[in-house]
Chain A
Amino acid sequence: MTIRVLRPGLLTTVQDHGRHGLQHLGLCPGGAMDPVALTLANALVGNPAETAALEITVIGPELHFEHDALVAVCGAEFQGDLPRNRPMFVPAGSRYRVGRAVRGARAYLAVAGGLAIEPVLGSRSTYLPGGFGGFEGRALRHGDVLHLNADSAEVSRARFASLKGRTGQTVRWWAPPLTLPDREPVLLHVIEGQHWEAFEPASQRAFLDAVWRISPDSNRMGFRLQGPALARVTEGDGSDEILSGPTALGSVQVPSGGVPIALMADHQTTGGYPRIAEIVSADVPRLAQLAPGASVHFARCSLETAAELRRDLQERLETALRGIAWSYGT
């Protein structure tokens, strides 16, 4: 049961929902940059949400399926052969190309039955900075052979046969994309960071007023944001040292050069740079869907609003999952 990698794409890694509970050892949870799209991709092929899938970034891979497989690609819209947000039956011997992203930056390719990958520290996610997890701790390369779990071809045939609304090798319906931002600049909600007060009032305003562009120098650890330089209030004694402390997914830290960095899935667990803001958890997957060059702006919100946004996203995800489950007759 294998998939052969003919072309790896820009950055294709194995990801699941990450490894939690190890931040005190300096290890961030990592996992899918857009966990909502990963959950949908898994649901579309009948997998439990925690199953590992391929995270595809900006330029997709070309794959040779050596056995029957039921697959789904969810998240960003890519050119190429695979229909978006739908389960698709791929017969043994097929080649499929996921082209270039036309909207969004990341998609998840899930296979019914799941990839045969050993968990490391409780997760199958690839942690690139540490070189472990996922497929040999690295991004996929030309010639790699991904093994699927033993019964995945049978599972794929049986699941596809049980689906409602089949037409040809796919279905007539699709799951809604929940994290694809519609128009730019993309609005991201933030709450004040721990060091908000440490920034000059003009920089606080600039942070909220400016349109920021995702820098090409961005990766799974963090997105650099191009815009006005942000300045700190200098203390009376001239010191501007911040005591190094814990960070979180979505923290916006500002190193001394004044260029903010939004911390993403593979972020450092602590940092010595002041954090001007924290992007709310419901908006982080939408940020993850932006490629370098895309623009964002920030709006301050309360913790209550952040919780509402979080619950709203969760409800929309659950509605989509119920719809998919219904199509599987469960």
Chain B
Amino acid sequence: MKPERIVPLGDLAAYVEFSRTLDLEVNETARRLAAAVRAAADPRVRDVVAGLGGVAIHFVPAIAEPAPALAEAIVAQCVRQGLPPAKKIGRDLEIPVCYDPEYALDLEEVAERTRLSPERVVEKHQKGSYLVLMIGFAPGHAYMGGLDPALAVPRRATPRALVPAGSVAIANDQTVVYPYAISGGWSVIGRTPLKVFDARRGEPSLFGTGDRVRFRAIGKEEFLRIAAEA
């Protein structure tokens, strides 16, 4: 529970570091702390961001104390009052994914690398239960842990210039869903028809840190139907 160190992230933010390597237990602590700091709604706090190994607290420019000291006091108070249990953070989500070859741009390559058939790759991905460890890189872009180790492939040597929006991709021990058509180096094995980030929606981001995610395989017809409604 005790942070390893609290370092300045510029003069208006501090990073509360628990670990420099990915550890799921540490990540859970970071997410619980982030939830507690956000719930405390300190008027000096502007943003609370859970990273894989720690939490950044961003402050308003008018703060009188140095950011790390302020962060330390806020963290200590949150820890004293007790962090929310991990189960209470995040939601259970079921995300429809079409694994058709048309959308699964790198499925063949992943199958070759993992020495599994494309069907087995899809089955293993679709059967997993995932946890959103961090949101970053782009609005709504969720890094999810829980990928079957049999599907571990490194990032592609040459990133794609434009990965289509909604693409479901894997690399190492994680899976992601691309919110926009952006460049990216993960292997694309499917696509969701849902809008991952929509600024006009009351809840703009489909995913939140701590969400528990399952993927449901859908056919192309259902994909097109949901996409038309979204």
- Please determine whether chains A and B interact with each other in the same assembly: yes
State the total of A-B contacts with C-beta under 8 angstroms: 146
Q: Which residues B30-59 have CB closer than 8 A to chain A?
A: 34, 38, 46-56, 58
Which of these, B11, B51, B67, B139, contacts A246 with CB under 8 Å? Answer: B51
Query: Are A191's CB and B141's CB within 8 A?
Result: no
Inter-chain contacts of A310 with B (CB < 8 A):
11-12, 61
Q: Which residues B1-42 have CB closer than 8 A to chain A?
A: 7-13, 15, 17, 19-22, 34, 38
User: In the bound complex, what is the Cα–Cα distance between A53 and B182 (angstroms)?
Assistant: 28
Query: Are A248's CB and B51's CB within 8 A?
Result: no
Query: Are B205's CB and A280's CB within 8 A?
Result: no
Query: Are B47's CB and A251's CB within 8 A?
Result: no
Query: Are A132's CB and B137's CB within 8 A?
Result: no
For chain A, which range describes its interface: under 10, 10 to 19, 20 to 34, or 35 or more residues?
Answer: 35 or more
Query: Are B140's CB and A314's CB within 8 A?
Result: no
Q: A24-B135, A303-B66, A307-B66 are in contact. Are A243 and B49 (CB under 8 A)?
A: no
Query: Are B13's CB and A248's CB within 8 A?
Result: yes
Which of these, A127, A129, A270, A306, contacts B134 with CB under 8 Å? Answer: A270
Query: Are A129's CB and B9's CB within 8 A?
Result: no
Which residue from chain A places its CB closest to the CB of B179 in the assembled complex?
A26
Which of these, A130, A306, A314, contacts B180 with CB under 8 Å? Answer: A130
For the complex formed, measure the closest distance between the CB of A162 and the CB atoms of chain B, giving whole angstroms: 30
The reply to whether the CB of A121 lies closer than 8 angstroms to some CB of chain B is yes
The reply to whether the CB of B138 lies closer than 8 angstroms to some CB of chain A is yes
Inter-chain contacts of B52 with A (CB < 8 A):
243-245
Which residue from chain B places its CB closest to the CB of A280 in the assembled complex?
B11
Which residue from chain A places its CB closest to the CB of B46 in the assembled complex?
A20
User: In the bound complex, what is the Cα–Cα distance between A120 and B139 (angstroms)?
Assistant: 14
Which of these, A23, A130, A132, A191, contacts B58 with CB under 8 Å? Answer: A23
Inter-chain contacts of A202 with B (CB < 8 A):
none
For the complex formed, measure the closest distance between the CB of B182 and the CB atoms of chain A, giving whole angstroms: 8
The reply to whether the CB of B200 lies closer than 8 angstroms to some CB of chain A is yes
Q: Which residues A313-328 have CB closer than 8 A to chain B?
A: 314
The reply to whether the CB of A113 lies closer than 8 angstroms to some CB of chain B is no
Query: Are A246's CB and B66's CB within 8 A?
Result: no
The reply to whether the CB of B223 lies closer than 8 angstroms to some CB of chain A is no
For the complex formed, measure the closest distance between the CB of B70 and the CB atoms of chain A, giving whole angstroms: 11
Which residue from chain A places its CB closest to the CB of B49 in the assembled complex?
A246
Which of these, B7, B61, B199, contacts A120 with CB under 8 Å? Answer: B199
Inter-chain contacts of A249 with B (CB < 8 A):
10, 12
Which of these, B49, B55, B199, contacts A132 with CB under 8 Å? Answer: B199
Which residue from chain A places its CB closest to the CB of B57 in the assembled complex?
A246
The 0/1 profile, CB within 8 Å of B marked 1, for residues 218-246 of chain A is 00000000000000000000000001111
The reply to whether the CB of A68 lies closer than 8 angstroms to some CB of chain B is no
User: In the bound complex, what is the Cα–Cα distance between A280 and B66 (angstroms)?
Assistant: 13
Which residue from chain A places its CB closest to the CB of B23 in the assembled complex?
A243
Which residue from chain A places its CB closest to the CB of B27 in the assembled complex?
A243
The 0/1 profile, CB within 8 Å of A marked 1, for residues 115-148 of chain B is 0000000000000000000111111110100000
The 0/1 profile, CB within 8 Å of A marked 1, for residues 65-82 of chain B is 011100000000000000
User: In the bound complex, what is the Cα–Cα distance between A120 and B197 (angstroms)?
Assistant: 13
The reply to whether the CB of A271 lies closer than 8 angstroms to some CB of chain B is yes
Q: A21-B46, A245-B56 are in contact. Are A251 and B197 (CB under 8 A)?
A: no
Inter-chain contacts of A24 with B (CB < 8 A):
34, 38, 47-50, 135, 208-209
The reply to whether the CB of A77 lies closer than 8 angstroms to some CB of chain B is no
Query: Are B56's CB and A246's CB within 8 A?
Result: yes
The reply to whether the CB of A204 lies closer than 8 angstroms to some CB of chain B is no
The reply to whether the CB of B204 lies closer than 8 angstroms to some CB of chain A is yes
Inter-chain contacts of B137 with A (CB < 8 A):
26, 268, 270-271
Inter-chain contacts of A127 with B (CB < 8 A):
199
The reply to whether the CB of A94 lies closer than 8 angstroms to some CB of chain B is no
User: In the bound complex, what is the Cα–Cα distance between A244 and B141 (angstroms)?
Assistant: 13
Query: Are B197's CB and A130's CB within 8 A?
Result: yes
Which of these, B67, B179, B204, contacts A303 with CB under 8 Å? Answer: B67
User: In the bound complex, what is the Cα–Cα distance between A44 and B133 (angstroms)?
Assistant: 46
For the complex formed, measure the closest distance between the CB of A224 and the CB atoms of chain B, giving whole angstroms: 16
Inter-chain contacts of A47 with B (CB < 8 A):
none
Which residue from chain A places its CB closest to the CB of B172 in the assembled complex?
A241
Q: Which residues B176-229 have CB closer than 8 A to chain A?
A: 179-180, 182, 197, 199-200, 204-205, 208-209
Which of these, A25, A278, A281, A303, contacts B139 with CB under 8 Å? Answer: A25
Which residue from chain B places its CB closest to the CB of A245 in the assembled complex?
B51
Query: Are B46's CB and A248's CB within 8 A?
Result: no
The reply to whether the CB of A250 lies closer than 8 angstroms to some CB of chain B is yes
Cβ-closest 7 pairs across A and B: A270-B136, A246-B56, A245-B51, A306-B11, A278-B10, A23-B47, A132-B199
Which residues from chain A sit less than 8 Å from chain B, CB to CB?
20-27, 29, 120-121, 127, 129-130, 132-133, 191, 194, 243-251, 268-271, 278-281, 303-304, 306-307, 310, 314
A sample of 30 inter-chain contacts (CB < 8 A) reads A21-B47, A23-B58, A24-B47, A24-B135, A25-B139, A26-B139, A27-B197, A29-B46, A29-B47, A127-B199, A130-B138, A132-B199, A194-B9, A194-B17, A243-B22, A243-B51, A243-B52, A245-B51, A246-B9, A246-B15, A246-B56, A247-B9, A248-B13, A249-B10, A250-B10, A251-B9, A269-B136, A281-B11, A304-B66, A307-B66
